[in-house]
Structure 1
Amino acid sequence: MMKLTINDLKIYTPAKDFELSKLFYSKLGFELTEVWAGDVDCRLGGAVFRLQNYYKKEWADNFMMLFGVDDAKAWHLHAKQVIEQGEFGTAKVAEPEEIDGAVICHVWDPSGILLIFIS
């Protein structure tokens, strides 16, 4: 029997205002690369997702991405600075929480996508 493998996985992430979302992720430090159909891959370290110019409120309101990071508190400070310096609509960041020995930082992008940074 042949062993099946997966070599790559990209999650398609909705964007209510595509240009604003691209700017937001760029300011967070993601490298944006245009791909087919006008979408962009957002890459930082080993993480990559595909941002698309498509939005459904019900989908975006329940969409989350979990990032394992070295320092969630540093991500909190960075995201807070990015949001305070730009016009990113409803984007927001919550104070870090410590839960069961982990530090968790919640950030909401301009489309309402929840980014969870955990260390």
Structure 2
Amino acid sequence: MSMETIEIKAFVPARDFELSKRFYTDLGFTVAWSSDDLAYLHAGNTSFLLQKFYNQEHAGNFMMHMLVADVEAWWRHVQATGLAQRYGVKTAPPEDRPWAIRDFVLVDPTGVLWRIGENIGGPRIG
């Protein structure tokens, strides 16, 4: 018997499904598959499912953490594409965190908070 795992995906809520798909595409994800109420998005080996589902309390407490090789490159991309202005979302620039990750914060159009970061040494998460 093998207890090997392959992957885990979160179902990320979307208040406006089409808007959220555009947002994530502009962020750097590819929509690999989509139906009327569910989409499979990926960037490299990272993926999640975007669902046409919205509950304010759920969305406002939903968080995603994505570990990347170069957080500054991702931050430059967010700035260069004008995501905050185009989608009316909040961002906060990269900072070194006590948990040994340098990350930045991005809130999607639904209210989902993303922390996108890279390991910087010391004890690691991920």
Could you state the TM-score of these two structures normalised by the residue count of structure 1?
A: 0.85
- Alignment identity in percent? 35
Aligned position for 1:110 = 109
Q: Which runs of 5+ in 1 are unaligned?
A: none
Q: For residue 31 of structure 1, what is the amino acid of its counterpart?
A: T
Q: 1:118 to 1:84 in 2, by over 3 A?
A: closer
Taking the aligned partners of 2:4 and 2:55, their CA distance within structure 1 comes to: 31
Q: Which runs of 5+ in 2 are unaligned?
A: 119-126
Taking the aligned partners of 1:3 and 1:37, their CA distance within structure 2 comes to: 36
Instruction: Determine whether 1:23 maps to 2:10.
Output: no
RMSD: 1.8
| Higher deviation after alignment, 74-83 or 62-71 | 74-83
Aligned position for 1:95 = 93
Contact 2:65 2:116 in 1 (8 A): yes
Taking the aligned partners of 2:102 and 2:44, their CA distance within structure 1 comes to: 20
Could you state the TM-score of these two structures normalised by the residue count of structure 2?
A: 0.81
Taking the aligned partners of 1:60 and 1:80, their CA distance within structure 2 comes to: 24
